Structure 1
Amino acid sequence: MNTESLSPHSINVTGEATGFLPAPGSRGKPITVIGTEAIRGSFDAKCLEQAMNSRGAPGVTDLVLNPDAHAGYGAPVGCVLVSPTHVYPGPVGVDIKCSMSLLALDLPADAVADKATRRALINAICERTPTGAGRGQRTARKSRHVSPELGKQLVVEGASRAVCDALGIPPAWAERCEDSAHVGHDHTHAALGLRLERLLAGGALPKFDDKMTQLGSYGGGNHFGECEAVEIGDNDRARKAAETFGLRDGGLAFLSHCGSRGFGHNLASGQFRALQRFFETWGLPLPGQDKELVYAPLGTPEADAYLDDMALGANFATVNHLLINALVLEAFQEIIPGATGRLVYFISHNIARREIVDNREAWVHRKGATRAFPAGHHALRDTPFAETGHPILLPGNPTAGSCVMVAEPGADKSCYSVNHGAGRAKGRKAAIRELDQKTVDDEFITHDILTNCRFYPKDEAPAAYKDFNEVLRSVERAGLAAEVARLRARFVIKDSDESLGGAA
């Protein structure tokens, strides 16, 4: 297929919300496409071209395009790439283990009905969890101090008991994580310790101590914290799943979206540079002639280095989320004495994981895609979610709400994955150019949603994203997952640094 002619019309439709693109040269398994007609129309030529390049790359056996897909770094954001023989940094991205977490609070939604209470909570959270690129503990007077020594420990160990105790994180929360700790290429933490020592000694991690001060912070761009009113679906399955997850109809919850901050970005950027130099030195061909689709065969020193660096960044991201949730709970307890809470789940959407695909071990790369294991999946054995499936946390936008879902058996068609949110409909520059600031801000007033921003970033406005309800309809009609609860925003914590335009 000529990639220059790719368009939504190139997709072969097999159902209301399913279709496929033939693999390059029609060799091998086709690209699986998830999306209704309206969603398929949102895939532009660049997104489809990246999907074709990724599917034709060495060692790739499966490629899935989810309904939130749009052009990204090498591979589309909103895709799943499977390879039993190679690792690809592009289909993980520069924000290693960008993730979602959800904290259930033992409070009714009307506990924050009063605007003054919500404003006080916003201030209390911002005193503990700074926002904005480059910002860390020094800009939040009630944050946790993280020494360089503790930083080295946590990026190697992840959310170990010792790390949780040192940071005031309830150790039981580690049991509510997709992965509470990551190991090195040889399945050990020792490999990560050695890798970290080499990186530090070689000057590959500049300002490491400063990057550790970003622990417990959101950063910029599309990262956020959001206080939610919980609406459980009106059916037995939703109610059963919600009970297992620890969600209560009419209750409060807090949804967070962030990743590995500057530390993960340094690691990922270093890997891209190293692999691109390797390809240039040896004159190796690039998939689709795209330098963002560099790769390494498993078992090579280059693959080992990437897997170790990815694990270091992922461990930072895990502890970052858990600490944010501990600080958010602390802020609620300051404003509403007696409040309690527990982690519902923590799940990534920018990671490569070892999983069993077609009866063999493979690396499943999810870039802007969320794992979706249904009830009875072997990986959920001996977990609280064995009989329901684990929580899937999907951010939509503040006015349309976000969603908690649970996987269906049909998720096998998408390599047990779903989208990671709504997906961008407008690029950042286009959104800033085309959207009206007053209209954006008035929408929040209409929905009685408070924010910490003087002006809500236009490039993060609801209108910059796809129709979330249509995205969810695609997932449900494709038989991948079902809705358990809708989350309605009551207030939003966002990068409020106007000089960054929300795009950091």
Structure 2
Amino acid sequence: MSKPSLTGKELRAIGYPEGPVISVAMSTMQKAYRHESKEYALNILKELLAAPHDYVSDKTLGIIAQQLLPKPAAMEGADISLNQTGIHFNIFGQEHIEEGALHQMYQAAKLPVAVAGALMPDAHSGYGLPIGGVLATDNAVIPYGVGVDIGCRMCLSIFDLPPKELTDREAFFIRELGAATLFGSGAQFDRSPDHAVMENRLFYEMPLLKRLHGRAWKQLGSSGSGNHFAEFGIVTITEKDEALGLDAGSYIGFLTHSGSRALGATIANHYTKLAISKRRLPQEAKNLAWLGLDEEAGAEYWLAMNLAGDYASACHHVIHDKIAKQLGRKPVKQVENHHNFAWKELLDGKEVIVHRKGATPAGKEVLGIIPGSMTADGFIVKGKGTTAAVNSASHGAGRKMSRTRAIQSVTDKQFRDELKKFGVKLLGGGLDESPFAYKDIHTVMQSQKALVAIVGSFTPKIVKMDGAAHRSWKKKKDETVAE
């Protein structure tokens, strides 16, 4: 049976009020009751409307019920103080983490809604939560605890092809890498690819998303700028692991790193402004302002964040499908994980909202990819479900230099020599993303041995990044870029 195709008009007809509850109800029913009839779904919604209090604790329908209950007194403009002693959180690889990131995490730990936290060994300063920060909260979501690039993720396709082809047919792989995606902050395709994510009803029901639909479609399958990349390399499996399911050996891998483009950035900035207006925190902590999931704005953000995550995943799948088609075969395994996101998870038997800003989910047996740099190996990992880290791990090696410092301190020759040393062909990219700007990935992995187990490695060989002129490593080293 097909999923119930509910409309806003039908929900209004049975008494649902105008507002976010319409979008919330439609999205929830289409996901949770996709195998039921429309009549069945409408009957449930009628019962919920008649007695929303009865459904508040329901894991599926609770989010709809909360929208129907009378709202608590508005907290608009309320001054909120931080707790003097914050929650305890564990730090992994503290000796390699800059003071600014530690300070930001200590600030986050003092939030009244904070429940648990951890700091990953690749951590460095960001906005709101530090990059590499993990924070669990009680019924609250922090837009800048998620980050601007919502749902940014890694995706690895492993092909049963001999790695020797990367050198024997280098021109072919370079051509296909260039054709598979676009780089650059404003990059858009002239012709948009088709994908089911663009038909999500939220694009038509939520005014903010409706305005973003056209641009999001034109950017579907693009990769952005900064540290985003697409690269071919060698996947090495030393012994078979049940979670990964691949025999020991060497394979060709195609790895991408990018997020939700302008869609995610606009959602993040819009709801951060709303959160800041509702919770006036001390100036140094204002970017940690939160929205309650029982508030209209919080429920809206949650839906929009999840859509941005689905969109980011779709971008990767569009790119990987192009590569698979040109290679003439399907991958034998695909591993995908995201960061810059918030999840509903159980912690000590209680549901909490876990923010992972630049941190990889590492629940028991959960697979993920942790990249190094354009010359350093990345790793396919399996989570150990370590509660002390809130079931998380690092999302990469982590920066040790700002973009400005990297451009000012690394020479063109050093950069070229490093690429040659490791046999890496670079297409685009600049000094700001040079290997010297990143921490030693092996040191980072050593610091999180208790969090993940390594089940394979990825060695970059042909790397494509944004080649914007202002980031070109051929430019003078005294030129700077925005942080």
Tell me which interval the TM-score lies in, with the shorter structure as reference length.
0.7 to 0.9
In 2: Cα distance, 1:34 partner to 1:155 partner:
39
Distance of aligned partners of 1:403 and 1:224 in 2 relative to their CA distance in 1, 3 Å threshold: same
CA shift for structure 1 position 248? 4.9
Distance of aligned partners of 1:443 and 1:331 in 2 relative to their CA distance in 1, 3 Å threshold: farther
Distance of aligned partners of 1:304 and 1:466 in 2 relative to their CA distance in 1, 3 Å threshold: same
In 2: Cα distance, 1:33 partner to 1:229 partner:
32
Residue matched to 2:171: 119
In 1: Cα distance, 2:248 partner to 2:469 partner:
37
Residue matched to 1:253: 253
In 2: Cα distance, 1:86 partner to 1:363 partner:
7
Tell whether 2:461 aligns with 1:490.
yes
In 1: Cα distance, 2:397 partner to 2:341 partner:
19
CA offsets per residue over residues 343-375 of structure 1, 9 Å max, x none? 42211011001111111111111000011122x
CA shift for structure 1 position 263? 1.4
Aligned residues of 2:244 and 2:367 also touching (Cα < 8 A): no
CA shift for structure 1 position 118? 1.9
Residue matched to 1:368: 358
Could you tell me which amino acid in structure 2 is paired with residue 257 of structure 1?
H
Report the structure number with the largest CA radius of gyration: 2
CA offsets per residue over residues 382-408 of structure 1, 9 Å max, x none? xxxxxxx13220011132211011122
CA offsets per residue over residues 1-29 of structure 1, 9 Å max, x none? xxxxxxxxxxxxxxxxxxxxxx96445x4
CA shift for structure 1 position 211? 2.9
Aligned residues of 1:67 and 1:474 also touching (Cα < 8 A): yes
Residue of structure 1 aligned with 2:370, choices 391, 394, 419: 394
Residue matched to 2:189: 137
CA offsets per residue over residues 440-461 of structure 1, 9 Å max, x none? 12211221111222xx411111
In 2: Cα distance, 1:500 partner to 1:462 partner:
15
Aligned identity (percent) is 29
In 2: Cα distance, 1:487 partner to 1:250 partner:
10
Could you tell me which amino acid in structure 1 is paired with residue 193 of structure 2?
V
Distance of aligned partners of 1:342 and 1:214 in 2 relative to their CA distance in 1, 3 Å threshold: farther
5+ long unaligned stretches in structure 2? 1-81, 474-480
Tell whether 2:456 aligns with 1:480.
no
Residue matched to 1:230: 235
Aligned residues of 1:119 and 1:450 also touching (Cα < 8 A): no
Residue matched to 2:223: 218
Distance of aligned partners of 1:65 and 1:482 in 2 relative to their CA distance in 1, 3 Å threshold: same
Could you tell me which amino acid in structure 1 is paired with residue 313 of structure 2?
T
CA shift for structure 1 position 287? 5.3
CA shift for structure 1 position 273? 2.4
CA offsets per residue over residues 34-60 of structure 1, 9 Å max, x none? 11xxxx233222211110111111211
In 2: Cα distance, 1:439 partner to 1:332 partner:
34
Aligned residues of 2:158 and 2:252 also touching (Cα < 8 A): yes
In 1: Cα distance, 2:394 partner to 2:198 partner:
27
Could you tell me which amino acid in structure 1 is paired with residue 384 of structure 2?
E
* Residues 424-503 of structure 1 mapped to structure 2, 5 A cutoff: 424-453=399-428, 456-476=429-449, 479-501=450-472
In 1: Cα distance, 2:232 partner to 2:247 partner:
14
Distance of aligned partners of 1:195 and 1:370 in 2 relative to their CA distance in 1, 3 Å threshold: farther
Aligned residues of 2:243 and 2:382 also touching (Cα < 8 A): no
Tell whether 2:299 aligns with 1:310.
no
Residue of structure 2 aligned with 1:328, choices 310, 323, 326: 323
Residue matched to 2:334: 344
Q: TM-score, normalised by structure 1?
A: 0.74
Aligned residues of 2:244 and 2:455 also touching (Cα < 8 A): no
Runs of 4 or more, structure 1, over 6 Å off, are none
CA shift for structure 1 position 240? 2.0
Residue of structure 2 aligned with 1:404, choices 374, 380, 384: 380
Aligned residues of 1:121 and 1:332 also touching (Cα < 8 A): no
Could you tell me which amino acid in structure 1 is paired with residue 453 of structure 2?
A
Residue matched to 1:413: 388
Query: Which has the higher relative contact order, 1 or 2, with Cα contacts under 8 A spaced 6 or more apart?
Result: 1
Could you tell me which amino acid in structure 2 is paired with residue 209 of structure 1?
G
Distance of aligned partners of 1:264 and 1:403 in 2 relative to their CA distance in 1, 3 Å threshold: same
CA shift for structure 1 position 247? 6.3
In 2: Cα distance, 1:106 partner to 1:220 partner:
30
Secondary structure of 1:123's counterpart equals helix
In 2: Cα distance, 1:51 partner to 1:216 partner:
34
Residue matched to 1:154: 197
CA shift for structure 1 position 493? 1.2
Could you tell me which amino acid in structure 1 is paired with residue 445 of structure 2?
L
Aligned residues of 1:54 and 1:287 also touching (Cα < 8 A): no
Q: TM-score, normalised by structure 2?
A: 0.77
In 1: Cα distance, 2:193 partner to 2:383 partner:
37
Secondary structure of 2:145's counterpart equals coil
In 2: Cα distance, 1:449 partner to 1:98 partner:
24
CA shift for structure 1 position 472? 0.4
Distance of aligned partners of 1:155 and 1:53 in 2 relative to their CA distance in 1, 3 Å threshold: farther
Could you tell me which amino acid in structure 2 is paired with residue 102 of structure 1?
L
Secondary structure of 1:131's counterpart equals coil
In 1: Cα distance, 2:111 partner to 2:459 partner:
41
Secondary structure of 2:223's counterpart equals coil
Secondary structure of 1:397's counterpart equals coil
CA shift for structure 1 position 128? 2.8
105-114 or 72-81, which deviates more: 105-114
How many residue pairs were aligned?
A: 394
* Residues 157-196 of structure 1 mapped to structure 2, 5 A cutoff: 157=200, 192=202, 195-196=205-206
CA shift for structure 1 position 500? 4.7
Residue matched to 1:96: 150
Distance of aligned partners of 1:51 and 1:241 in 2 relative to their CA distance in 1, 3 Å threshold: same
CA shift for structure 1 position 154? 1.1
CA shift for structure 1 position 104? 0.8
Aligned residues of 2:240 and 2:247 also touching (Cα < 8 A): no
Residue matched to 1:161: none
In 1: Cα distance, 2:342 partner to 2:452 partner:
21
Tell whether 2:38 aligns with 1:62.
no
5+ long unaligned stretches in structure 1? 1-22, 139-143, 158-189, 334-338, 375-388
Residue matched to 1:239: 240
Aligned residues of 1:370 and 1:392 also touching (Cα < 8 A): yes
Secondary structure of 1:250's counterpart equals strand
CA shift for structure 1 position 130? 1.2
In 2: Cα distance, 1:265 partner to 1:155 partner:
17
